[in-house]
Chains A and B, each alone.
Chain A
Amino acid sequence: MAASRTGWKNRLAAWWAERVPVSGVQLRELTNEPVPNHLKKWWFALGGTPAYLFLIQVFTGILLAFYYQPSPLTAYESVAYITRHAEYGWYFRSLHKWGATFMIAAVILHQMRVYFTGAYRRPRELNWVIGMCLLLCTLLLGFTGYSLVYEQLSYWGAQVAANLSEAVPLAGSVLKHLLLGGPEYNERTLARFYVIHAAVLPVTLILLLAIHIAFVRLHGVTELRFEDEEQTEPRYYNFFPDHLYTELCIGLVLMILLSALATIFPAVMGPKANPLETPEVIKPEWFFYVVFRWLKLFSLTTAIVSAGFIVAAMFLWPWIDALLIRLTGNREISTYIGVVATILLTGMTIYEALVEH
């Protein structure tokens, strides 16, 4: 009896090995990677956090897509149906909304960690550029997702953004036309936002993420050692299963937090979009407060061109940093600039959150 069971197992294992010629050892080597000890501190493991949140966004997004109808006639009502009538619809929509907020926050925190530890420096410059693309993708996902609800604020937010893109020198009108699917916001615009939000950006993000992770694997995680660390401690630990467990724990904590927020502060329905009436107080989502404040400080063209320069400087930062170090001889120069930039960005965000206009 036992022998026949062993024989059956062996035959099944042989059948599998013939068709999938990868051994367990090979698979473990392939997926495993020595992880520097500092990643045991969770704030250094923040790169995995947006990835996990992205999975939640994909899962809840697919669920919401079963009911969402991207047309001005039906968009608001379909979201209202999800929120009020579909079973657990309020939960999945709220999870999606809070997941987006957390994902953007996690990407920003991850980028700040990389910045302040100088992890973008040679030879990892290109991965910083990929990371910047991932940040832009995440912000665009936030913007297009918010526009899909077709509330007053999301509609007028999209209008403002479309007119903003028109102010971009040279390519402005083409950009606006591409974004709206015509010279103005029309009945085909929402479908366009939907495809960008649910297909174009996620696929781009997945491809970029694959390159991002491939670069991390090729270069290895930047090593950091702390003063309080004993020199005799091993410098690395295994990705599988040790680091995976860390990520699993972070994932669970995130899920609990998101569920709590979704329950206590669920996503609600604002008034339906009215193209004939701009609301008295208009605000974008929190992650665009900085841009919104920036637009109020300068003329449109100045604001757009300066914002363009800032984003370009962020993309090219590894090389700008190297140049600054060469010129000043001070390796800490990026830290000072980073602290000033963080104070400015946080200050403008808080200021925009506090004032009405």
Chain B
Amino acid sequence: MDDSDSSHTQRPHGAGPTTGRSARRLFLRVAMAGGLVAGYGTLGVMAGRFLYSNGQPSRRWQFVTTIDALAVGDAILYEAPNGAKLIIARQKEGETDDCFAALSSICPHLGCLVHWEPQNERFFCPCHNGIFDKGGKAISGPPAAAGQQLTRFPVKVDRGRLFVLAPVESLLELNVACRSHTTCRLAGHFRARAGEPRRAEV
């Protein structure tokens, strides 16, 4: 900032009008600089959030299996379109959504694959003996010590068929027939109803 305004500096210091004017100038400078920092700072924060927000992969409802193909206590390994491995288990008798659970098979400890032990009603990670209950919560081993749990994916039952909201491969998948999230869901649904081969493997 340049303070060399000769008309002001030539006046004696402490004189009333000069003090008032200097205070006003100082106030305006601080207000201007503060406004600039606040305005452009906000823009910077928004830009940061814009860049950071692309974390979650897009998900779509995917057909898994018919519910009568999955007995109580059984689990199947399901490969989502993006290659993620999911464990889908029927945990109790019934045909409602809460009778089924879809959990990521990747152990949150160091990324090994867990498997379902029906006799013990638990998931077991062979790498470091991590144990998870049927809801995916770690109950023993290093994951329990860290308070971790298996990532859970939403499931739904629709007319005897089981669907999971699974991560999809890429935007290319979305381009098949989808313009919005709703149509994407419908497209997935109709493809499933048309008897498209399922990608699950028991």
Co-complex (A, B): yes
Interface residues of A (CB under 8 A from B): 59, 63, 66-67, 69, 73-74, 77-78, 80-81, 85-89, 91-92, 240-241, 248, 252, 255, 272
Rounded to whole Å, the gap between the CB of A140 and the closest CB of chain B is: 26
Report the Cα distance A240→B1, complex, angstroms.
Answer: 9
Chain B residue with minimal CB distance to A72? B175
- Indicate whether B118 reaches chain A with its CB closer than 8 angstroms: no
Bound-state CA distance A241–B175 (Å) is 53
Q: Which of B16-24, B49-57, B59-67 contacts A (4 or more CB under 8 A)?
A: B49-57
Contacts of A86 in B (CB 8 A): 50, 53-54
Q: Are A88 and B36 in contact (CB under 8 A)?
A: no
B46 within 8 A of A: yes
Interface hits, B113-128 → A, CB 8 Å: none
Q: Which of B47, B172, B174, B175 is A63 in contact with, Cβ under 8 Å?
A: B47
CB-CB nearest in chain A for B178:
A77
7 tightest Cβ-Cβ pairs between the two chains A and B: A87-B53, A88-B46, A88-B50, A87-B49, A74-B171, A73-B175, A77-B171
Across the interface, which residues of A come within 8 angstroms of B35, CB to CB? 252
| A87 vs B179: C-alpha distance when bound (angstroms) | 19
**Pair B172/A73 contact, Cβ less than 8 Å:** yes
**Nearest CB on A from B60, distance (A):** 14
Q: Can you name 17 A-B residue pairings with CB atoms under 8 Å?
A: A63-B47, A63-B51, A66-B50, A73-B172, A74-B172, A77-B171, A77-B174, A80-B179, A86-B53, A87-B49, A87-B52, A89-B53, A92-B50, A252-B35, A252-B36, A252-B39, A255-B39
With a cutoff of 8 Å between Cβ atoms, the chain A residues found around residue B51 in the complex are 63, 66
Q: How far is the CB of B199 from chain A (nearest CB, A)?
A: 22
Tell me, yes or no, whether B2 is within 8 Å of chain A by CB. yes
Within 8 Å by CB of B1, from A77, A78, A80, A241, lies: A241
Contacts of A87 in B (CB 8 A): 46, 49-50, 52-53
**Could you say which residues of chain B place their CB within 8 Å of the CB of A59?**
47
- Minimal Cβ-Cβ distance residue in A for B50: A88
> How far, in Å, is B171 (CB) from chain A's closest CB?
5
Residues of A within 8 A of B172 (CB): 73-74
Instruction: Choose among A67, A80, A87 the residue with the greatest number of B CB atoms under 10 Å from its CB.
Output: A87
- Measured in the bound complex, the distance between the Cα atoms of B53 and A66 in whole Å is 11
**B2 to A74, Cβ gap below 8 A?**
no
Beta-carbon nearest neighbor of B170 in chain A:
A74
Chain B residues whose C-beta falls within 8 Å of the C-beta of A80 in the assembled complex: 179
Q: Which residue of B lies closest to A248 (CB)?
A: B36
B43 contacts across to A, CB distance below 8 A? 255
Q: Which residues of B contact A66 (CB under 8 A)?
A: 50-51, 54
Chain A residues whose C-beta falls within 8 Å of the C-beta of B179 in the assembled complex: 80, 272
Partner of B49, one of A85, A88, A252, A255: A88
Chain A residues within 8 Å of B39, by CB: 252, 255
Let me know if B36 and A89 touch, CB within 8 A. Answer: no
- A77–B2 CA distance with the chains assembled, in angstroms: 51
> For chain B residues 13-42, which have a beta carbon within 8 Å of chain A?
35-36, 39
13 other A-B residue contacts (CB within 8 Å) besides A87-B53, A89-B53, A240-B2 = A63-B51, A66-B51, A67-B54, A69-B171, A74-B171, A77-B175, A80-B179, A87-B50, A88-B49, A88-B50, A241-B2, A248-B36, A272-B179
Give bound CA distance, A248 to B29, whole Å: 13
Which A-chain residue is minimally distant from B179 (CB atoms)?
A272
Cβ of A85: which chain B residues have Cβ within 8 Å of it?
53
Whose C-beta in chain A lies nearest to the C-beta of B2? A241
Contacts of B2 in A (CB 8 A): 240-241
